[in-house]
Amino acid sequence: MPVPQPPTHDPQDETLVLTEHIYLFSRILLSNRQIFVQLMAASAPVLNQTEAVLYDSLLDKWWEKVTVVDSLSLNNTADLLLVRQRERIEAQKTDGTRHCNTSLYGSR
User: Domain for residue 102, yes or no?
Assistant: no
Parent domain of 57: 20-95
Per-residue model confidence (pLDDT) at position 26: 87
Instruction: Decide which of 94 and 42 is more confident.
Output: 42
Predicted TM-score (pTM) of this structure:
0.53
Per-residue model confidence (pLDDT) at position 104: 54
Total number of domains constituting the chain: 1
User: Domain for residue 39, yes or no?
Assistant: yes
User: Domain for residue 35, yes or no?
Assistant: yes
Per-residue model confidence (pLDDT) at position 15: 76
What is the C-alpha separation between 60 and 75, in angstroms, rounded? 22
User: Domain for residue 101, yes or no?
Assistant: no
Q: Could you tell me the CA-to-CA distances from 95 to 50, 101, 103 in Å, in that order?
A: 68, 16, 19
User: Domain for residue 9, yes or no?
Assistant: no
